[in-house]
A and B are shown apart, each in its own frame.
Chain A
């Protein structure tokens, strides 16, 4: 087991980091450049654009997902007719791989496609550039991501809700608490660990985004780099620009960011407990 992790986890990470300290074009031997790649990133407009785009995507792919998936879980935690069928339908977007989701949405978001018809028909608009407009394209990525992510995180919330002892709610009910008060004073504190888990997972997931931007966009990262995220920049630097050192440096930055955010969330959870 130790050997497995050494070969397939620790070594690639260490090798990747070592690579980030070199200038390597895959064709010639690597040149040792120390921390130059990291220094250069600070002045690299492409990196800064990708960094900002990633932060925007993370914001759009975490906060709304956190809230909407919790609301969905609260809804499906109630008993009503057709709940199981509706829950299954709601969960369907989680089943296909992201590539399939992206391909299907690419068709739906065609300038003259179904979404345009739904969104624009009432005011006579027949063409909307969902994926070719510098403002709409990043928004479309977030919407498609959230559409597929919300049902997944809803399941985690549902598991958390199922773990709340029913006698706590019963006691609150007997004491005359309203549903909102019950949620606020009973459910939410009990769901703290689940909340941190959802926040951590959705943040890590959002930082690592790549497939949507690569497959959904007609020009990966475009238009005008408006959907260029760090994951895509790693591919660009490594295998299109032949700058493996820079690609590894961007990966190291991503790794550090994810580590920092996750550590902060775990620390918050520990403190709150």
Chain B
């Protein structure tokens, strides 16, 4: 037996064992349908989830829901390994950042409008201001949004007033004004090290950095990736200017950087005067932290080509295309009931969806800032290999900000690296489809 045939024999043997295990008949269950539903952990939402499930099971006695809550940090990995072993959930909630991966692997079932009780796509989407662009592939929708969000800037009024500034009058409209303003709010020690930052970007989170970069580049008419051509597009002068601005923020103005605690934690602890990494869901957190706050839109570049704030992101309720057809129908039916509780999910768990009924609850001026910005927002590019792309960007960021390498040399290299990732992942996805 050759080495190659030995390896093949091992692999085939394993596949047969796993296949037999998967194909073995389980306990026969007459007409009962069981939906395995997986949600990531968000404590305020769990009680609402359970109430919705109870309502659903009461109305559909032939359908049972097997509900599981999984820690946020483990959710993606567990979902992936469950899909690999064939034990994945029938209905699950996941971020827009991962949907391209699932779509390319044909894990996602297109929406079954009839099962959801809608006549067609328009009957579903007409009730929403936005949110479906993130889950549309080749003209079809593969999920319903349970949260659509965008960031805006929260100002700690107390700190601003101590610094002699008026949050409403003095908050800058442009990025060019931001360093001067942030410096006024920054408290430094004798060595010039910030003890309290005036404003900083949310560096530690890769996805937040991705959103920041893409949003600021879009203001200048550039973007990180052309989702249609599947190519990185940040090697031009506009993109370079954005990255240079961020590098200067850290190395020239020394107003913050990736070495500091994440901005949300510091803002809620009163150690940061201004933070632009909270969504509308941040409002209850401000109340809990007893922070007197003001909400403002993200600054723009003085010569911005596009009037946009942060990109939007969303979480979707999706159905596993590998589940039995009857289970898929039942799952879409449950998804409908779930999103019909959007008002409750917003008021009880802070999950905002721009539906008419939810927007009616957001008349306050702070919420209006988010809504106005959301109307101008687009979804960041959805690509297979998202985690790899973000890693390349973060690696480049560190090389420039902490390794001191020049933007002009790092950015083209990053662009090439992202292109290499996109090319390989696209080829893999296409090979799998064959």
Contact = CB atoms under 8 A, between A and B. Distances in A.
Given A15-B10, A129-B259, A239-B80, A31 B431 contact: yes
A62 interface: no
A134 B83 contact: no
B361 interface: no
B20 to A, nearest CB: 16
A18 B105 contact: no
Interface stretch (A140-148, A151-159, A217-225, A254-262): A217-225
A34 B4 contact: yes
A18 B11 contact: yes
Interface stretch (A22-30, A177-185, A191-199): A22-30
A27 B428 contact: no
Contacts of A32: 8, 11
A134 B396 CA distance: 12
A269 interface: no
Interface stretch (A51-59, A120-128, A160-168): A120-128
B102 interface: yes
A39 B238 CA distance: 38
B385 A241 contact: yes
A14 to B, nearest CB: 5
A132 interface: yes
B10 A14 contact: yes
Interface in B380-416: 385, 387-388, 391, 394-396, 398-399, 402-403
A120 B403 CA distance: 21
Nearest to A27: B105
B189 A132 contact: no
B14 A15 contact: yes
Contacts, number: 97
Interface in B75-104: 77, 80-81, 83-84, 101-102
A218 B204 contact: yes
Interface string A1-45: 000000000000011011001110111101110100000000001
A90 interface: no
A238 to B, nearest CB: 9
B402 A31 contact: no
Contacts of A125: 191
Report whether over half of chain B's contact residues are helix, strand or loop; otherwise say mixed.
Answer: helix
B162 interface: no
B84 A26 contact: yes
A239 B77 contact: yes
Given A34-B4, A132-B259, A223-B258, A126 B385 contact: no
Contacts of A111: 259-260
A236 interface: yes
A222 to B, nearest CB: 6
A224 B14 CA distance: 39
A125 B388 CA distance: 37
B72 interface: no
A33 to B, nearest CB: 10
A26 B191 CA distance: 51
Contacts of A78: none
B10 A224 contact: no
B428 A25 contact: yes
Nearest to B390: A240
Interface string B188-210: 01110100000000001000000
Contacts of A30: 11
A205 interface: no
A112 B258 contact: no
Contacts of B129: none
B304 to A, nearest CB: 30
Nearest to A132: B259
A242 B101 contact: yes
B11 A127 contact: no
A133 interface: yes
Contacts of B396: 224
Given A14-B10, A224-B399, A224-B403, A112 B204 contact: no
B395 A222 contact: yes
Given A27-B84, A241-B385, 6 more contacts: A32-B11, A111-B259, A218-B204, A224-B396, A225-B398, A241-B388
20 contacts: A18-B11, A23-B431, A25-B432, A27-B80, A27-B432, A30-B11, A34-B4, A111-B260, A124-B191, A126-B191, A131-B259, A132-B257, A132-B258, A219-B398, A222-B398, A223-B258, A224-B399, A225-B395, A226-B398, A236-B391
9 tightest CB-CB pairs across the interface, nearest first? A27-B105, A224-B398, A132-B259, A223-B398, A26-B84, A28-B432, A127-B193, A240-B387, A224-B399
